[in-house]
């Protein structure tokens, strides 16, 4: 039964599991960007690597490339609905990485009061938060 969890993680890693792809997704969470804008935000990425990652993410339907110039061909890149679904996971990874590096990063905050948000598992049937200890993978007793 544990194979289901590995398969899901394996699928996610195959679709977006490298450093640059996650950084591209993170950059696009703020909205569509052009190639040069992405390169500027990402800093040290080589043009060839950025091109390859953008093509891969487009092939995986994580982002969509929209032409804004025909001659020469130039594109604007935006996340698809599937790509936007990665927001929570990317933010959790960023928060974890900051903690591991000893850097203060509270992550997203509540718009109304400014308090740092916490990620929780939630059971819609019981209508309550559930701890990691209370949860289990499907198929496990």
Q: Quick check: 72 and 79 in contact, CB under 8 A?
A: no
Tell whether 131 is covered by a domain. Answer: no
* Terminal-residue alpha carbon distance, the chain: 10
Asked, for residue 138, whether it belongs to a domain, the answer is no
- 133 part of a folded domain: no
Q: How many residues does the chain have?
A: 141
Under the banding of pLDDT at 50, 70 and 90, the label for residue 5 is very low
For residue 141, give the DSSP letter.
Answer: -
Determine which helix (DSSP H) or strand (DSSP E) holds 121, and give its type and residue range.
strand 121-123
At 101-131, the pLDDT tens digits run 887 766 778 889 988 888 888 899 999 998 8
**Number of domains within the chain:** 1
Asked if residue 45 is part of any domain, the answer here is: yes
User: By percentage, how much of the chain surpasses pLDDT 90?
Assistant: 49
Residue 37 confidence (pLDDT) above 80: yes
pLDDT surpasses 60 at 54: yes
Domain annotation covers residue 129:
no
Q: Which pLDDT score is estimated for 116? A: 81
Asked whether residue 130 is domain-assigned, the answer is no
Contacts for 2 with CB less than 8 Å, ≥ 6 apart: 137, 139, 140
The CATH number assigned to the domain holding 11 equals 1.10.10.10
62 located within any domain:
yes
- Domain of residue 23 covers 2-104
Does residue 135 belong to any structural domain of this protein? no
Q: Model-level pTM?
A: 0.77
- Report pLDDT for 107: 73
- pLDDT band for 141, please (50, 70, 90 cuts): low
Average pLDDT in the 67-90 region?
Answer: 93
């Amino acid at each position: 039964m544990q194979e289901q969890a590995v398969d899901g993680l394996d699928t996610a890693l195959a679709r977006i599991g490298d450093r640059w792809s996650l950084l591209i997704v993170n950059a696009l969470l703020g909205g569509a960007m052009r190639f040069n804008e992405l390169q500027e935000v990402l800093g040290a990425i080589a043009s060839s690597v950025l091109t390859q990652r953008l093509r891969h993410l487009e092939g995986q339907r994580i982002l969509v490339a929209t032409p804004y110039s025909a001659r020469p061909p130039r594109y604007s890149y935006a996340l698809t609905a599937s790509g936007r679904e990665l927001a929570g996971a990317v933010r959790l990874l960023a928060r974890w990485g900051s903690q591991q590096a000893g850097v203060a990063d509270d992550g997203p905050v509540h718009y109304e009061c400014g308090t740092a948000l916490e990620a929780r598992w939630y059971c819609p049937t019981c209508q309550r938060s559930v701890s990691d200890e209370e949860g289990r993978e499907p198929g496990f007793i």
